[in-house]
Amino acid sequence: MRFIPPNLRLIARLLFVALMLQSCSSARVLSESAGIKGVDLSPKKEALTDAQLQQWFMADPARDSVAGISLDRVKGQLKPKKTKPVVVAIVDSGVDLDHEGFSGKFWNNEDEIAANGIDDDNNGFIDDILGYNFLGESYYEQMEYVRMLARGVGSKDELERAENIHSKEIVKAQENKSQYKRLYELAKTAIDSLGADLNKPTIDLSDLEQYTPSSAFMAQQKAVLSQLFVYVDESDGLLKELESGLAYFSERYDYNLNLNLNAREVVGDDPYTLNETAYGNANPSIRNEDESHGTHVAGIISTIAPFAELMILRTVPAGDEYDKDVALAIRYAVDNGANIINCSFGKSFSPKAEWVWEAIAYANEKGVLIVHAAGNDGKNLDDTTTRNFPDDHQGKQEEFVSNFVSVGALTPSLDQGLVADFSNYGASNVDLFAPGDQIYSFMPNNGYEFQGGTSMAAPVVSAVAAWLKTYFPKKSAAEIKQILLDSSIRLPLDVIVPGTQGFKPFKDLSKTGGIVNLYNALIYAQQH
């Protein structure tokens, strides 16, 4: 799943809580017997500090007036209890295995001997100690609809829709690539010129306001930078944002939308033959520092549920994932002991969707929970013309499994802007919402950064599910899903509907009309 971080969206502008809990006796892990029943819907009057913004997704709605999961509240009341290990498989891009935050956090395949070139545990994968890499040494990939056009595969209607999308997106990507390149060049010239005149390596808005141009050229450079500083008022930050935009649209044009790209060639398999599984390798780490998505996702899970063992399955390239890789990754996770599978990816076309549905059904049979990002198109997934594969309904009204959770994204704000403007939604096809905008987590090379997307909301739910599984190991995947849904906080609030200027009650944007909450989930689990 490719997403535009919040900072890139900014630069692009240039061109009641009602939770009913019944009392049943069970193992108690929290001292209180009732969940959060009252949330002050008055939005936080003051802006979040940097420290608060880094932690908001773990904060408490009632105490902190943000849409967090109440992790801190849980830690303050948690009773000592012997817990069982829980394994969370991360089906994503590669993960920076050397990041300081992951020390001691990875799942370890104890039946495999590292780097001996032998499949010691006879699971079909050689030297798979931490997980597996289904992408080999590839990184960039086409969108699925581009691959379908290049191969001429799909129904007439599908190919017509693919062609219509591609013809629009390729023009948009080329134009935006050129515009960002031009903006970057203008900004760089202005910053270098003014920096030399001011004898300062970096320039901020106050420097610019106090600067008196020494020539007509310098006056022009000040005017250029004044316009750009309306959005980011510091030179290093401005260049970083413009570089990010240029990189994004260059990747879109040069790789994702390129009909002539054959990135799979380096992997060496036929991605449209499911029984050809001898491909990839045992190293699920990143291939370059731009491959950051999996690290960020894994960091969220590790931060919220530090006891979880992370199984890394490198499956999602810089482009659309292959159905074959996703199906095999899900099966690998199930067969090798994963309790929860986080899937922070999605696409609108899926020529071999049945392979993935069969893998999801297999996970359902084995009692493994799958948490999936709802997507970042700002669309209603109940609309039959909008799909975000994989799903649990196969294009029908009824769900075919009980282990699949679809997650939309929230901002920190307990007001009309609660739902992230990019998030997909759906009263039938999105189960609940979770924090997903401005989420602070790990980045390659021991870095940390804010990113946003339903890709960030899904691991929040996976981490909450991990808490439930480790404290209540006898709960099935279907039971954990139901606990997540039933314990979610329901807000009597009208919100802006993503992709529109209109308003709807928050309860109408998902099946539960709720936001995930760890505190409530643990109380609900111990009572049922």
CATH topology for 84-141+266-522? Rossmann fold (3.40.50)
Phi and psi angles of residue 341, each rounded to the nearest 5 degrees, phi first: -120, 120
Can you tell me whether residue 491 is helix, strand or coil?
coil
For residue range 192-227, list pLDDT tens digits in order.
Answer: 999 999 999 999 999 999 999 999 999 999 999 999
Cα–Cα distance between 274 and 320 in angstroms, integer?
17
Identify the pLDDT of residue 42.
Answer: 66
**pLDDT at residue 26 tops 80:** no
Pairing of strands 439-443, 447-451: antiparallel
**pLDDT at residue 20 tops 90:** no
Cα–Cα distance between 182 and 123 in angstroms, integer?
52
Pairing of strands 503-505, 494-496: antiparallel
Can you tell me whether residue 166 is helix, strand or coil?
helix
For residue range 78-98, list pLDDT tens digits in order.
Answer: 887 788 899 999 999 999 999
Quote the tokens at residue 326. Answer: 């996703």
Amino acid at 14: L
Cα–Cα distance between 316 and 516 in angstroms, integer?
26
Identify the pLDDT of residue 9.
Answer: 52
Q: How far is CA 150 from CA 67, 146, 168, 460, in A?
A: 44, 6, 16, 37
Cα–Cα distance between 329 and 285 in angstroms, integer?
15
Stretch 324-328: mean pLDDT? 98
Amino acid at 397: Q
Cα–Cα distance between 143 and 152 in angstroms, integer?
14
**pLDDT at residue 8 tops 60:** no
**Contacts (Cβ under 8 Å, ≥6 apart) of 259:** 142, 146, 149, 150, 166
**pLDDT at residue 18 tops 60:** no
For residue range 229-272, list pLDDT tens digits in order.
Answer: 998 999 999 999 999 999 999 999 999 999 999 999 999 999 99
What are residue 133's DSSP bridge partners? Answer: 281, 314
**pLDDT at residue 481 tops 70:** yes
Identify the pLDDT of residue 7.
Answer: 55
Contact 333, 91 (CB under 8 A): yes
What are residue 310's DSSP bridge partners? Answer: 88, 106
Identify the pLDDT of residue 17.
Answer: 27
In the chain, which segments carry CATH 3.40.50.200?
A: 84-141+266-522
Identify the pLDDT of residue 19.
Answer: 30
Render 314-368 in DSSP notation, one character per residue.
E---BSPPPHHHHHHHHHHHHHTT-SEEEE---BS--TTHHHHHHHHHHHHHTT-
Cα angle 351-354-357, degrees, rounded to a multiple of 5: 125
For residue range 102-122, list pLDDT tens digits in order.
Answer: 999 999 999 999 999 999 999
Dihedral of the alpha carbons of 301, 302, 306, 309, in degrees to the nearest 10: 90
* Average pLDDT in the chain: 92
Identify the pLDDT of residue 525.
Answer: 95
**In which order are the strands placed within the sheet that holds 514-515?**
131-133, 309-314, 87-92, 340-343, 369-373, 404-410, 432-435, 514-515, 489-490
For residue range 349-373, list pLDDT tens digits in order.
Answer: 999 999 999 999 999 999 999 999 9
**pLDDT at residue 44 tops 80:** no
Stretch 392-407: mean pLDDT? 95
**pLDDT at residue 21 tops 50:** no
Q: Where are the alpha helices (H) located in 410-476, listed in sequence order? A: 454-471
Neighbouring CB atoms inside 10 A of 70's CB total: 26
Cα–Cα distance between 363 and 514 in angstroms, integer?
25
**Contacts (Cβ under 8 Å, ≥6 apart) of 46:** none
Cα–Cα distance between 433 and 429 in angstroms, integer?
12
